[in-house]
Structure 1
Amino acid sequence: MTASQDARAYWAVIPAAGGGARMGAAIPKQYLPLRARTVIEWSTAVFLACDWISGVVVVLAQDDARFASLPIASHPRLITTCGGAERADSVLAGLLCVQQHCANPAQTCVLVHDAARPCVRAVDLLRLRDQADAEHGGLLAIPVTDTLKRARDGASVETVDRSTLWRAQTPQLFDLSQLINALHTARARGAVITDEASAMEAAGHRPRLVQGDESNLKVTYPADLALADFWLENTP
């Protein structure tokens, strides 16, 4: 870690305003039960357990009536705010909340994490903090190992070179002000923002890819809950 990084404060932003339609559940997937907690409690607790993270902002839907009833909601380092229609809108709302509450916005970095990734480990957060580029930020990611095919009309027409391809995970860590500016610019251009790194890339940054772990899965489909249960049981 560089001296400039040593002086920085770190906050986490967890966008949780979506419903997770692909899960097909009666409630938003972040509130599904997982090993005596909800998914979002697992996703949030790891950040609150890190004493180097100053605060956690959870971004909720306007009509969310569930989060306030969770034990984690009363944690003294946790703040909630309301999000928007798209993930990028919710992330931006969370960043602006951090800007209002942090001691020094110019020296603050944010870790943006999916509410539906309940298995991220504290050791991975530390690796991201220590290996992220001081200027360009970074993100947890996994090199692609499967053979990739390009399809046309349902048929395989080409094998794609996988040597430079990675699967992006979260958290993704960036300078607070830089990320706010990048999201504002991308939104003004009407750009499709699939993750925070895509907004930063569009702004000319080159975020560092930091080795993640397969256990840090995103709960998207019903079968993912059983897999998350397995990782929580078997990962130190």
Structure 2
Amino acid sequence: MTIATAILLAGGSGNRMQGKVEDKILAPLAGKPVIAHSIEAFVSSDQVQHLVIVTRDAEQRSELEKIASIVPNRQISLSFTTGGAQRQDSVYAGLQAAPSETQIVLIHDCARPCVTPAAIRESIAKASEFGAACLARPVADTIKSADTYDGAYLPTTVDRSKLWAMETPQTFQYPIILDAYKNIIESGTPITDDLSAIEDIDQPVAFIDNTRPNPKLTTPSDLPYLEYLLQS
């Protein structure tokens, strides 16, 4: 049996929520806190043995410990660690807190509460086969790159056949992503997602074309849409 650990990132600042909620991860959504939807999905996948929740501070951790009380009902371990100033610091803290027997690690932004157990299972299978996997969506819109020109722009069409929008979880064989993040931390390179950490080592990644919406809670206007998705 593959030993899988999920790292759940919960410590984001949420600045773009414009003060509408104190902590977007704890905000009520479809009858439960936002993070509870992610926790339940990973627990229900029945293929994750460990959860590591990366928190912002002791106050948030206290609230998350209450929410995560659903976990002891399953054969799954739960631990907490504190994140850092940048996203890569928080991910690295989570990787270091993963149990030593971990073979596959899934890194998930808990601001994406619509992740499904089926997507989690497929992520583990693909990462086991290829070394890395990511939920993603092929870009359907026409995309332009644009240079400024006298207050307007000079647009150029980008070939969208090669464009994918990344989601989470992003999933890896544990030694691959741990070594990659060691290099990122040592070099001080800022990155915005986990695949960026492996781009310099020619590591193949299986893109999993997500058939169900998995949007990120970023602004207050996202809450009604996420509510609709979770209830339907």
Q: Structure 1-normalised TM-score?
A: 0.87
Q: CA separation in 1, counterparts of 2:186 and 2:39?
A: 30
Equivalent of residue 153 in structure 2, options 145, 151, 155: 155
What is the SS of the residue equivalent to 1:205?
Answer: coil
Counterpart of 2:15?
A: 21
Q: CA shift at 1:181, angstroms? A: 0.9
Q: Which runs of 5+ in 2 are unaligned?
A: none
Aligned pairs (5 A) from 1:104-119: 104-105=101-102, 108-119=103-114
Residue identity in the other structure for 2:92: L
Q: CA separation in 2, counterparts of 1:162 and 1:80?
A: 40
What is the SS of the residue equivalent to 1:93?
Answer: helix
Counterpart of 2:131?
A: 136
Asked whether 1:61 is paired with 2:56, we answer: yes
Counterpart of 1:208?
A: 206
Q: CA separation in 2, counterparts of 1:47 and 1:227?
A: 22
Q: CA separation in 1, counterparts of 2:211 and 2:79?
A: 28
Between stretches 23-32 and 109-118, larger displacement belongs to 23-32
Over the aligned positions, Cα root-mean-square deviation in angstroms equals 1.8
Q: CA shift at 1:162, angstroms? A: 0.3
What is the SS of the residue equivalent to 1:195?
Answer: coil
User: Is the 2:138–2:165 Cα contact (8 Å) retained in structure 1?
Assistant: yes
Q: CA shift at 1:67, angstroms? A: 2.6
Q: CA shift at 1:133, angstroms? A: 5.7
CA deviations on 1:7-51 (whole Å, 9 max, x unpaired) are: 421110011111210111241211111012111111221101222
Q: CA separation in 1, counterparts of 2:154 and 2:230?
A: 36
Aligned pairs (5 A) from 1:171-182: 171-182=169-180
What is the SS of the residue equivalent to 2:160?
Answer: coil
Task: Work out the number of aligned pairs and report it.
Answer: 223
Q: CA shift at 1:132, angstroms? A: 3.2
Q: CA separation in 2, counterparts of 1:112 and 1:135?
A: 16
Counterpart of 1:72?
A: 68
Which runs of structure 1 show a deviation greater than 4 angstroms over 4 or more consecutive aligned residues?
A: none
Counterpart of 1:84?
A: 84
Q: CA shift at 1:127, angstroms? A: 2.0
Q: Which runs of 5+ in 1 are unaligned?
A: 1-6
What is the SS of the residue equivalent to 1:134?
Answer: helix
The 3 A distance-change label for structure 1 pair 156 and 124 is: farther
Q: CA separation in 2, counterparts of 1:201 and 1:172?
A: 13
